[in-house]
Structure 1
Amino acid sequence: MLDFTHIFLIFIIIVIIFIISQLVISAIIVGATRKLIANISNEKVKKYTNLLNGIIRIPKFPIILDTIQAGYDIISKNKNISREYKKELKNLLIKRNIIKN
């Protein structure tokens, strides 16, 4: 039978795994945003949108939200990116409460 110590250790392990997963996801988002901005194209914007859409829970750390918003600002102002891709990314970010409508 599990006593309090075992339950507490299991809880701590779960919390640590959750924190590590959020840090890994954060690193992936920051890296993808930097890579996208360095050489922006329709194909990269589509891949970026798919990446963000595939993440079940985007960490709400200020640096992550600021990074995504900065990436979106650059994409939305770039005349070489299709309106369709801009709109798809915007709708996703609104749905995820990262940007306001």
Structure 2
Amino acid sequence: MLVDAREALSRHDWQAAFDAASAASVDSPELEAERADLMAEAAWWLGRLDACIEARERAYRGFDELGDQRRAGLCAVWLWEHHAIGARPSVAQAWLRRAR
């Protein structure tokens, strides 16, 4: 369940958070977007940038499709940073434009 992932994140137990979010079964688009965002957060702290980006992009799409502009925008800002760190400036700038 996502509650397990959230609790693990609050304890800074990144691997447990990633595992719990990955294993969570969700039944709504809202929870799927949140699940992806939790996975991205945990992957970031585990140093798994590619997994973080993949999950954050899923979260962005989910929040965007739900019309949650604030959370989609936040994901876009994170994706800008992730791609900038990964030395992909063109992709980073595209995400920054989406965030605006």
The TM tier, using the shorter chain, reads: 0.3 to 0.5
TM-score of the superposition, structure 2-length normalised? 0.42
Larger radius of gyration: 1
TM-score of the superposition, structure 1-length normalised? 0.41
